[in-house]
């Protein structure tokens, strides 16, 4: 396990050399977990190109013992006072003037504080997405965990579908989903579970409410587990009763769009091509204007990470990428349908991680 973290730090050191950076400041918890195994939620990691002193973690008293337990080959630097002044002091005392920071993560206030406190000792360089680009290419250990996280999502989805009887409330289903995840070893939900009955299913991000399920309603369940730090994300749509032909037509159009997008996922394809595959199927059914979001997103330590699978994205898919494919259609006041799976890209094949049935289930 420690070996994976050390390997990732070495890969990052190579990127620092390519970018002509001496050190990189990392302030995003998912990034520092990826590089060290530290699970605390306050601190800052500095990765240096210098061999032997590659990683230093500045953190406060709450996390010192934990950081020591969780990491190997990482120097733990106890924070004295506030975080950013401590980071600046550490950087001033160390070697390597050219220090990179992620302009997508550091706030304007943090950046100004660091500029002021490091003065001429540090030449700050914006260097965005260096860790994110490594995190996009999951290694075999990460893929193994993500398969298990997807299996938990499958099992929990199947269990939740059995609860969908008229009279049940949205938040009761959400509670059961989260309990079932925990029972299977998940540390928590990857995002707030979506349980949407009837007209509420037309809201792509509906939160569970006290609404009771009635006959002849659509149900959208969108859930994800965090297992050993990695996220899964799955959506299924059910119908309570016998679905009218209009609803069946929508359902099969969304499923066709989803399968077309999954078929378009491959090593070398662009994310925009995958998005277009879903969108053009829906256009063929004259439903594209009801597809109000993008086709998917990267998945890993965070539930939304690179790459984005959206209109016009030129990013090329590569082995180790894990993305969601989740087209949907939404009719305000009537209901919505979304079908989502998690997909891993390999050199010569695509692996669908979530596998629970996609048939239209009439309950």
For residue 99, give the H/E element and its range: strand 98-101
- Does the protein bind a second copy through residue 60 (CB under 8 A)? yes
d(CA 2, CA 50): 19
Q: CB of residue 332 vs a second copy: minimum separation in angstroms?
A: 5
Q: Which of 302, 317, 189, 196 is nearest to 262 (CA)?
A: 317
Q: CB of residue 146 vs a second copy: minimum separation in angstroms?
A: 19
- Does the protein bind a second copy through residue 62 (CB under 8 A)? yes
b (16+ CB within 10 A) / e for 80-107: eeebbebbbbbbeebebebbbbbeebbe
CA distances from 106 to 58, 125, 167, 251, 292 (A): 16, 12, 47, 42, 30
Which residues ranging from 75 to 114 are in contact with a second copy (CB under 8 A)? 101, 103-112
Q: CB of residue 266 vs a second copy: minimum separation in angstroms?
A: 26
- Does the protein bind a second copy through residue 204 (CB under 8 A)? yes
d(CA 266, CA 326): 16
Which residues ranging from 117 to 146 are in contact with a second copy (CB under 8 A)? 126, 128
Residue 245: how many other CB atoms lie within 10 Å: 7
- Does the protein bind a second copy through residue 334 (CB under 8 A)? no
The residue from 95, 205, 246, 252 that contacts a second copy (CB under 8 A) is: 205
Nearer to a second copy, 223 or 345 (CB): 223
d(CA 250, CA 246): 6
Which residues ranging from 163 to 192 are in contact with a second copy (CB under 8 A)? 171, 174-175, 178-179, 182-183, 185, 187-189, 192
Q: CB of residue 347 vs a second copy: minimum separation in angstroms?
A: 31
d(CA 142, CA 128): 23
Nearer to a second copy, 54 or 235 (CB): 235
d(CA 91, CA 25): 9
d(CA 30, CA 304): 12
- Does the protein bind a second copy through residue 63 (CB under 8 A)? yes
Q: CB of residue 289 vs a second copy: minimum separation in angstroms?
A: 10
The residue from 7, 10, 332, 347 that contacts a second copy (CB under 8 A) is: 332
How open is the CA angle 355-356-360, to the nearest 5 degrees?
125
Q: CB of residue 153 vs a second copy: minimum separation in angstroms?
A: 16
Site residues (vs a second copy, CB under 8 A): 39-41, 60-66, 69, 101, 103-112, 126, 128, 171, 174-175, 178-179, 182-183, 185, 187-189, 192, 202-208, 210, 292-293, 330, 332
């Amino acid at each position: 396990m420690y070996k994976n973290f050390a390997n990732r730090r070495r890969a990052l050191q190579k990127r620092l050399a390519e970018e002509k950076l001496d050190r990189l400041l990392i302030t995003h918890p998912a990034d520092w977990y990826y590089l060290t195994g530290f699970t605390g939620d306050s601190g800052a990691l500095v990765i240096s190109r210098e061999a032997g002193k590659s990683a230093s973690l500045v953190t406060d008293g709450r996390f010192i013992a934990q950081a020591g337990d969780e990491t190997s080959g990482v120097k733990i630097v106890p924070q004295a006072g506030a975080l950013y002044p401590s980071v600046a002091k550490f950087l001033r005392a160390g070697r390597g003037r050219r220090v990179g920071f992620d302009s997508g993560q550091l706030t304007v206030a943090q950046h100004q504080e660091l500029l002021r406190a490091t003065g001429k000792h540090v030449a700050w360089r914006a260097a965005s997405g260096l860790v994110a680009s490594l995190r996009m290419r999951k290694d075999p250990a990460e893929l193994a965990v993500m398969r298990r996280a997807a299996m938990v999502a499958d099992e929990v989805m199947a269990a939740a579908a059995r609860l969908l009887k008229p009279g049940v409330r949205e938040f009761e289903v959400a509670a059961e989903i989260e309990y079932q995840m925990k029972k299977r070893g998940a540390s928590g939900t990857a995002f707030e579970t979506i349980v949407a009955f009837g007209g509420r299913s037309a809201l792509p991000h509906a939160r569970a409410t006290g609404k009771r399920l009635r006959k002849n309603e659509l149900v959208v369940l969108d859930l994800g587990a965090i297992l050993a730090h990695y996220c899964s994300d799955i959506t299924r749509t059910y119908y309570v009763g016998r679905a009218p032909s209009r609803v069946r037509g929508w359902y099969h159009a969304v499923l066709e769009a989803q399968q077309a997008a999954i078929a378009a996922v491959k090593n070398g394809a662009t994310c925009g091509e995958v998005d277009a595959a879903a969108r053009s199927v829906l256009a063929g059914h004259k439903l594209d204007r009801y597809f109000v979001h993008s086709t998917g997103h990267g998945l890993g330590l965070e539930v939304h990470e690179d790459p984005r699978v959206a209109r016009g994205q030129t990013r090329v898919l590569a082995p180790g990428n894990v993305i969601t494919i989740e087209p949907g259609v939404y009719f305000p006041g009537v209901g919505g349908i979304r079908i989502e799976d998690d997909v891993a890209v390999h050199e010569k094949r695509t692996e669908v991680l979530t596998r629970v049935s996609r048939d239209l289930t009439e309950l």
